[in-house]
Amino acid sequence: MSESATAKAQKKHVIEIREDWCKGCNICVEFCKPGVLEMKGLVAVVVNEEACTGCLQCELLCPDFAIKVT
Protein backbone atom coordinates (compact mmCIF):
# COMPACT_ATOMS: atom_id res chain seq x y z
CA MET A 1 0.00 0.00 0.00
CA SER A 2 1.33 3.45 -0.85
CA GLU A 3 2.12 6.01 1.84
CA SER A 4 -0.89 8.21 0.92
CA ALA A 5 -3.22 5.18 0.88
CA THR A 6 -1.96 4.21 4.34
CA ALA A 7 -2.59 7.71 5.65
CA LYS A 8 -6.14 7.66 4.28
CA ALA A 9 -6.80 4.22 5.78
CA GLN A 10 -5.72 5.45 9.22
CA LYS A 11 -7.94 8.54 9.10
CA LYS A 12 -11.15 7.57 10.83
CA HIS A 13 -13.27 10.72 10.90
CA VAL A 14 -13.68 13.90 8.93
CA ILE A 15 -15.07 16.99 10.68
CA GLU A 16 -16.69 19.66 8.57
CA ILE A 17 -17.55 23.04 10.08
CA ARG A 18 -19.76 25.45 8.19
CA GLU A 19 -18.16 28.70 9.31
CA ASP A 20 -21.05 30.74 7.94
CA TRP A 21 -23.43 28.85 10.27
CA CYS A 22 -21.20 28.87 13.38
CA LYS A 23 -22.18 31.56 15.87
CA GLY A 24 -19.21 30.95 18.16
CA CYS A 25 -21.11 29.57 21.15
CA ASN A 26 -18.08 27.36 22.11
CA ILE A 27 -20.26 24.37 23.07
CA CYS A 28 -18.50 21.99 20.68
CA VAL A 29 -15.07 23.02 21.98
CA GLU A 30 -16.08 22.57 25.62
CA PHE A 31 -17.49 19.08 25.05
CA CYS A 32 -14.69 17.79 22.82
CA LYS A 33 -12.61 15.76 25.28
CA PRO A 34 -9.78 14.87 22.86
CA GLY A 35 -9.23 18.54 22.01
CA VAL A 36 -10.03 18.30 18.31
CA LEU A 37 -11.69 21.72 18.16
CA GLU A 38 -10.65 25.24 19.16
CA MET A 39 -12.11 28.68 18.83
CA LYS A 40 -10.42 30.93 16.30
CA GLY A 41 -11.97 34.31 16.86
CA LEU A 42 -15.71 33.72 16.81
CA VAL A 43 -15.63 30.45 14.86
CA ALA A 44 -14.86 26.85 15.85
CA VAL A 45 -12.05 25.25 13.85
CA VAL A 46 -10.54 21.77 13.63
CA VAL A 47 -7.01 21.72 15.06
CA ASN A 48 -6.38 18.01 15.72
CA GLU A 49 -8.64 15.91 13.46
CA GLU A 50 -6.62 12.71 13.93
CA ALA A 51 -7.54 12.73 17.64
CA CYS A 52 -11.28 12.54 16.85
CA THR A 53 -12.92 9.49 18.43
CA GLY A 54 -16.17 9.88 16.50
CA CYS A 55 -18.30 10.40 19.60
CA LEU A 56 -20.38 12.98 17.65
CA GLN A 57 -20.86 15.23 20.68
CA CYS A 58 -19.81 18.29 18.70
CA GLU A 59 -22.33 17.52 15.96
CA LEU A 60 -25.14 16.58 18.33
CA LEU A 61 -24.70 19.59 20.62
CA CYS A 62 -24.25 22.25 17.95
CA PRO A 63 -27.40 24.43 18.16
CA ASP A 64 -26.85 25.71 14.61
CA PHE A 65 -26.12 22.38 12.86
CA ALA A 66 -22.79 23.82 11.74
CA ILE A 67 -20.77 20.61 12.36
CA LYS A 68 -20.88 17.32 10.49
CA VAL A 69 -18.73 14.32 11.38
CA THR A 70 -18.32 11.55 8.80
| Domains in the chain: ranges and CATH | 13-69 (3.30.70.20)
Per-residue model confidence as pLDDT tens digits over 13-64: 999 999 999 999 999 999 999 999 999 999 999 999 999 999 999 999 999 9
| Nearest alpha carbon to residue 27 among 56, 61, 4, 52 | 61
pTM for this one?
A: 0.79
Q: Which stretches of 1-70 are assigned E, i.e. beta strand?
A: 15-17, 37-40, 43-46, 67-69
